[in-house]
Structure 1
Amino acid sequence: MKKLSDPVNTLKGVGIKTQSALAKLGIDDINDLLTYFPFRYSDFHVKNLNNIIDGEKVTLRGKISGIPIVNYFGRRRSTLRFKLLVNKNNVVVTFFNQPWLKKQLIPGNEILVYGRFNTNRLSLSGIKILSHQVSNQMAAIYPSNKNIRSNTIKKLVQEAYQEYHQLIFDYVPEWLIKKYRLEHEEEVIHDMHFPDNQKEALLARRTAKFNEFFLYQMKLQLMKIDHQTHNGIRIKYNRSKINDFIKQLPFKLTNAQKKVVQEIDLDLTRPVQMDRLLQGDVGSGKTIVAAIAMYATIMSGYQVALMVPTEILAEQHANNLANLFKNLPIRIGLLTGSTKTTARNELLPRLANGNIDLIIGTHALIQDPVKYHRLGLAVIDEQHRFGVNQRKALRKKGHNPNVLAMTATPIPRTLAITSYGDMDVSIINEMPRGRKPVLTSWIRSKQFKDALPIILKQLKKGEQIYVVTPLVEASEAIDMRNAENIYQQFKSYFGSQFKVGLLHGRMKDEEKNQIMNDFKQRKIQILVSTTVIEVGVDVSNATMMIIYNADHFGLAQLHQLRGRVGRGSAQSYCLLIADPKNKLGEKRMQVMVDTNNGFIVSQKDLELRGPGDLMGHEQSGLPEFKVGDPVSDVVILNVAQQEAIGIIKQPDWQTQPVNSNLKLKINQDSTHDILD
């Protein structure tokens, strides 16, 4: 009995070699093959000369009006030229390095030629000579590799469709198909692979995008429900104590912070596991919101773990939170990779028996020897910097602890829908009162000396400066400035008046911490650094950020770096030094100059670089869709999400006859899942 899950080697001509080549493209079974869609089509419809756009690939029909001539250049290079009479116009057709075609070209005969048209010269750069009996006017072109050709995939798809098309079924409910004027699944598969024209191909692709997003969102929402069915830790905190804590803060919460605090507090009181993503721009005050949740959890008799990506940030959080909780009975511990053995041996038993309320650290928090007494809340700062497995490991350190993940890389709605659809999302979209936007400028490297008076002016005011570079040492292979060279340059410029420090990832942790502390205490006025200062470092007296080779950073990373300044009341500046080699690079620099809004920066980064480059596939867990693009197809994605949520909200959706095929499809995919 045939099934769509049959392996591809059930098809004729698919031996071990072809099966292996298909597997490398993600094609293991018949369903994979039928949903391995073309990325473009060659349109072989004959076009009128008056309707052709310059540079367009077209098919012309005409009579050979002269004798074809072949000219050779060396042993392997040649041109074959002939004239083609098309509607009383002679078009010069040229084929490169295909002299054997001359035998097919008999003067007076009518032929079909496919190639790229030049309207100014009335000429065609030939690609292929077509048969008069072209079986399909739209030829599908498939993504392929060196082990298998596009035409081989095309033949296998044709065979698979002929033998299995009767097994293709609609899993999108019929009412949704009608509501959005979608095609039925068998029609989608046919028209994606064998369309008669562009309109058919576009209609099929529109439906395929919706179907793919809809199925993904159904699975994502089911994951969310599964998370919520786990018995979570209910935090029964004292509301008046929380209010008193908020009142004694040295500043007032913004309205956005108040709203997010309410969302988190409500989650903590529920008997299901909190799984919330808190996102907000650099300096928007996420840490204080997390601190309120920490306080509520600790006052209820539970422990809190705060995991951060770097030791510098861990130490900074430990100092800041110790100061924030200094008048409260909260016992704080710090655990990182460089924690000395003696200190570690003293700390771990205290953590295990409950004598530490708040533990702050790096990935050291999830190592096997680390045991918790009553872990009630796990906070993950800059969560996209951790791999999926690291985040899971922290969750497993307790019995379904509440989870608050934070990121200062604002995630566009597109990625929030695809990557964090199983989490509740809170957004802080308001900056603390009194903060001035950082003024950003972009200059080319040859203009840097013009900026020296401005830098000197900031230093003379007693303010400090970050100088960031991509590399630690000089590299002959990459033409980029490096930290050590720039350190020497700044020492020669300002070393007689101001202290210049150097910080990079190859230093020992003790040395890095010492330099960072010296900068915080204003013993260092200019800190030349690699991107180790990208995340979380907070020195309010630093008012200028200079970034060399800024075009070698992503926009989201540049925004993170810029966020290291502007944290006090003084006006701050960011100077981008870059010599982009193309228009795209110039656009990216201009985005940074034009806006301080992290959500806009992040969206532009997504549009210019793609989701994989923006967040890193291995860490972000971003899905790879076959036809849909979460950026350009965000409207379809949003609609698909809303419809999936609507169905999942119905408690009896799985027993409704209209959803029987949808349930079947989800179950079929459970071992071969796009969420894996």
Structure 2
Amino acid sequence: MEKLFNESVTVLNGVGAKRAEALKKLGIETLWDLFTYFPFRYEDLTVQDIETIEDRQKVVLQGTAIAQAHVQYYGYKKSRLSFRINVDHVIVPITFFNQPYLAQQIVEGEEIKVFGTWDASRMQLSGIKIIGGSTVNKNEKFEPIYHSSKEISHAVIKKLVVQAWDKYQGEIQEVIPEELISKYQLIPIKEAIYNMHFPKSPAVMDTARSTIVFMEFLIFQLRVQYRRLQHKNIGTGQAIHYNLERLKIFFSSLSFELTKAQKEAVNAISADMKRPIQMYRLLQGDVGSGKTIVAAGAIVAAQSANVQSAFMAPTEILAEQHFQSLQAIYKDFDINVVLLTSSTSAKERRELLIDLKKGKIDCVVGTHALIQEDVIFSHLGLVVIDEQHRFGVNQRKDLREKGEHPDVLFMTATPIPRTLSMTAYGEMDVTTINEMPPGRLPIKTYWIRKKQLKNLMNTIMKELKKDSQIYVISPLIEESDALDLENATRLAEIYRQTFSPAYRVALLHGRMQAIDKEEIMQQFKKHEIDILVSTTVIEVGVDVSNATMMVIHDADRFGLAQLHQLRGRVGRGQKQSYCILVADPKGENGVKRMQIMTESTDGFKISQKDLEMRGPGEYFGKKQSGLPEFKVADIVEDESVLEAARYEAADLLMAETFLQNDAYHNLRTSVGIEDGRINDILD
């Protein structure tokens, strides 16, 4: 197997430097990459009965060529190839465009198979390809279709797979342990690879796919769980011996009592901090569930042990929000919290960095500016990373490696479905706050059509007369020819015309300078602005208790998780709050999303629906979020297989024989384990 993992595809005929580079862009560098570059779909090449074919259906017809093909040339490099075949005594005209070379495969009186699109009104076929001529395999039942590119075609990939199979199939060795093949009724990996590329029937394809899916999940789970075991080795972190009494005093000084879920989170984090192992925990909870106060308690614990904390947020607005929240929380506690962002003045930054290095600062709140080389801590013990999926893998890694392996607490207000927790966050311990603080009124959500805007304006006016504030969200900043959407600039003008001068309307968007955005947000918080028209820049980080209505225009253009995040910007105070979705969805999915939002305020249910509807690739947006890319497996469709693989991976790692037994050598190689340690595959 090592040969397949290490041997370059350049050993194949026809793969020079240029083609190798084209293959590399598709993720194919080694023979193993090629063997596991599976088709994304198959075309059924089974011959069909002419009487059962529907109009515009892609079909395969088999018949006898009545005469030699005729090629007619017209225009520049344009041609029409025409011939007729006899299909069960029905004469069918066949036409191919711009493929004159196919004429040599058509011999009068010989059987031929043609794949094309059926025109029922004319009883003729627009040919796509000949699959049964003088030079083609007539027994082919399914045509594998591979993802290709401008530089390298599907046909070339198929030829390379065939060549690799003929020359190197003998190098393929079993990866999945025999006991698991038997337990889950799988097939040998060599057979599975062959049947993925050259299937004889749908049943054969399904069995092959099941085996490949299990292999992908098993390898991934072994990587994640083995890395997690290594991470938990004694000595990989620092034991923070905090003052328990000071922590109790802090929580008892609050004007409210923690929920049961918050207390459980505090206990789990505190236990992690005491261990001489680097904490690597994800704290997830719905918007407003009280994650910040839990993190604030961890910062108090760190300060009581004379170690510093860093609190990193993805945007300046959110960093400012956390800074102000922590200052308010610690008003009666002697904890020095500072803010460091790219907007911090040069002089203030120099002084701040000196104090940080001397240990005069207990907690620094900031953006990615915290991971710059000149930011040096006296003794960093705790790192809190909020909305962590918005940071790249390397950014998260850089911060958690600052100092002497500080404890790391990740937080997210994007509830994460369990399957994503097992993949994107498999290395982390996960704590969930699944209950809201008492007394919070559920946000009422309504969906209206654009033709109901007049009624919406009347509703907004009633809310404004209650001295409340309004968010208005648009997906675009300026006019777009490509998308027929309301845009923030135009919306701001509409709202000004409707509500000014009695009520103050402002516009906020991501292209504004940070200082201007901050000024507008401060004005909104101080109620110097009544209606804030914005793009999704306010999705996180704005906490205005007097805001009671969230109006989202073209709501069908947003994913469910994002809509839920936006909705969570209201309902922070004692007043009843509302979310109005304005949308004319054209498709069934758009309608379904609107219905889900009006029926549920449970972020975990909504995130699961979002995952099911959009798929894992779209859930987080950026690939750098750390979500693994499986070649065949689908974490939604194959959730039960993921669970089984997770269980089996844990079982294998518990057995002492896994790291030594030669029977697991190929599996260890696939995982990337060498000499008892795992390669940096996941970094």
Alignment TM-score, normalising by the size of structure 1:
0.91
Matched residue, 2:246: 241
Q: Which amino acid aligns with 2:570?
A: V
Matched residue, 2:650: 645
Q: Which amino acid aligns with 2:406?
A: P
Q: How does 1:142-221 map to 2 (within 5 A)?
A: 142-221=146-225
Deviation by residue 1:244-293 (Cα, 9 ceiling, x = unmatched): 33233222222222222222122112110000111111111111111121
Shift in alpha-carbon separation, 1:135–1:10, aligned structure 2, 3 A: farther
Matched residue, 1:635: 640
Which residue of 81, 84, 87 corresponds with 1:85? 87
Q: How does 1:282-301 map to 2 (within 5 A)?
A: 282-301=287-306
Shift in alpha-carbon separation, 1:102–1:369, aligned structure 2, 3 A: closer
Q: Please tell me whether residue 318 in structure 1 is matched to residue 323 in structure 2.
A: yes
Q: 2-side partners of 1:195 and 1:418: how far apart?
A: 30
Q: 2-side partners of 1:271 and 1:584: how far apart?
A: 49
567-576 vs 38-47, greater mean Cα deviation: 38-47
Q: 2-side partners of 1:338 and 1:281: how far apart?
A: 30
Deviation by residue 1:351-402 (Cα, 9 ceiling, x = unmatched): 1111111211222222222211111110001111222222122212220100
Q: 2-side partners of 1:92 and 1:414: how far apart?
A: 51
Q: Please tell me whether residue 387 in structure 1 is matched to residue 388 in structure 2.
A: no
Q: Which amino acid aligns with 2:458?
A: P
Q: 2-side partners of 1:151 and 1:593: how far apart?
A: 48
Native 8 Å contact 1:467 1:529 kept in 2:
yes
Q: How does 1:418-433 map to 2 (within 5 A)?
A: 418-433=423-438
Deviation at 1:94, TM superposition (A): 4.0
Q: Which amino acid aligns with 2:349?
A: R
Q: How does 1:247-646 map to 2 (within 5 A)?
A: 247-475=252-480, 478-646=483-651
Gaps of at least 5 residues in structure 2 are none
Deviation by residue 1:454-503 (Cα, 9 ceiling, x = unmatched): 10111111111111223334455654333333223222211232222333
Native 8 Å contact 2:111 2:133 kept in 1:
no
Deviation at 1:25, TM superposition (A): 1.8
154-163 vs 452-461, greater mean Cα deviation: 154-163
Shift in alpha-carbon separation, 1:59–1:348, aligned structure 2, 3 A: same
Deviation at 1:307, TM superposition (A): 0.8
Shift in alpha-carbon separation, 1:482–1:85, aligned structure 2, 3 A: closer
Q: 1-side partners of 2:366 and 2:106: how far apart?
A: 76
Q: 2-side partners of 1:671 and 1:161: how far apart?
A: 30
Q: Which amino acid aligns with 1:40?
A: R
Shift in alpha-carbon separation, 1:496–1:664, aligned structure 2, 3 A: closer
423-432 vs 496-505, greater mean Cα deviation: 496-505
Deviation at 1:39, TM superposition (A): 1.8
Q: Please tell me whether residue 658 in structure 1 is matched to residue 663 in structure 2.
A: yes
Secondary structure of the 2:3 match is coil
Secondary structure of the 2:339 match is strand
Matched residue, 1:3: 3
Matched residue, 1:131: 133
Deviation by residue 1:12-55 (Cα, 9 ceiling, x = unmatched): 23233332322222222221221111222233333456876776
211-220 vs 642-651, greater mean Cα deviation: 642-651
Shift in alpha-carbon separation, 1:343–1:23, aligned structure 2, 3 A: closer
Matched residue, 2:46: 45
- Provide the aligned C-alpha RMSD in A: 3.1
Shift in alpha-carbon separation, 1:474–1:38, aligned structure 2, 3 A: closer
Q: 2-side partners of 1:424 and 1:197: how far apart?
A: 43
Shift in alpha-carbon separation, 1:99–1:358, aligned structure 2, 3 A: closer
Q: 2-side partners of 1:421 and 1:142: how far apart?
A: 30
Shift in alpha-carbon separation, 1:519–1:191, aligned structure 2, 3 A: same
Q: How does 1:66-77 map to 2 (within 5 A)?
A: 76=78
Shift in alpha-carbon separation, 1:19–1:340, aligned structure 2, 3 A: closer
Native 8 Å contact 1:84 1:93 kept in 2:
no
Native 8 Å contact 1:65 1:85 kept in 2:
no
Q: 1-side partners of 2:160 and 2:317: how far apart?
A: 56
Shift in alpha-carbon separation, 1:83–1:7, aligned structure 2, 3 A: closer
Secondary structure of the 2:381 match is strand
Native 8 Å contact 1:91 1:124 kept in 2:
no
Q: 1-side partners of 2:166 and 2:64: how far apart?
A: 37
Q: Which amino acid aligns with 1:24?
A: K
Q: How many residues align?
A: 674
Deviation by residue 1:405-427 (Cα, 9 ceiling, x = unmatched): 11111122222221111111111
Q: 2-side partners of 1:231 and 1:64: how far apart?
A: 74
Shift in alpha-carbon separation, 1:583–1:300, aligned structure 2, 3 A: same
Secondary structure of the 1:3 match is helix
Identity %: 50
Shift in alpha-carbon separation, 1:198–1:479, aligned structure 2, 3 A: closer
Native 8 Å contact 2:284 2:431 kept in 1:
yes
Native 8 Å contact 2:63 2:85 kept in 1:
no
Native 8 Å contact 2:611 2:619 kept in 1:
yes
Q: Which amino acid aligns with 1:675?
A: L
Q: 2-side partners of 1:91 and 1:437: how far apart?
A: 69
Native 8 Å contact 2:81 2:103 kept in 1:
no
Matched residue, 2:232: 228
Q: 2-side partners of 1:671 and 1:325: how far apart?
A: 43
Deviation by residue 1:498-541 (Cα, 9 ceiling, x = unmatched): 22233333444444333222222222221222222111211111
Native 8 Å contact 1:541 1:568 kept in 2:
yes
Shift in alpha-carbon separation, 1:477–1:125, aligned structure 2, 3 A: closer
Q: 1-side partners of 2:479 and 2:27: how far apart?
A: 41
Matched residue, 1:97: 97
Native 8 Å contact 1:623 1:674 kept in 2:
no
Deviation at 1:451, TM superposition (A): 0.9
Q: 2-side partners of 1:310 and 1:2: how far apart?
A: 45
Native 8 Å contact 1:68 1:83 kept in 2:
no
Alignment TM-score, normalising by the size of structure 2:
0.90
Secondary structure of the 2:232 match is helix
Secondary structure of the 1:639 match is helix
Q: 2-side partners of 1:19 and 1:342: how far apart?
A: 52
Q: 2-side partners of 1:96 and 1:12: how far apart?
A: 31
Q: 1-side partners of 2:141 and 2:527: how far apart?
A: 72
Q: 2-side partners of 1:112 and 1:673: how far apart?
A: 50
Deviation at 1:599, TM superposition (A): 2.3
Q: 1-side partners of 2:2 and 2:380: how far apart?
A: 51
Q: Please tell me whether residue 675 in structure 1 is matched to residue 682 in structure 2.
A: yes
Q: 2-side partners of 1:585 and 1:72: how far apart?
A: 47
Deviation at 1:77, TM superposition (A): 6.9
Deviation at 1:118, TM superposition (A): 7.1
Q: Which amino acid aligns with 2:87?
A: L
Q: 2-side partners of 1:348 and 1:2: how far apart?
A: 49
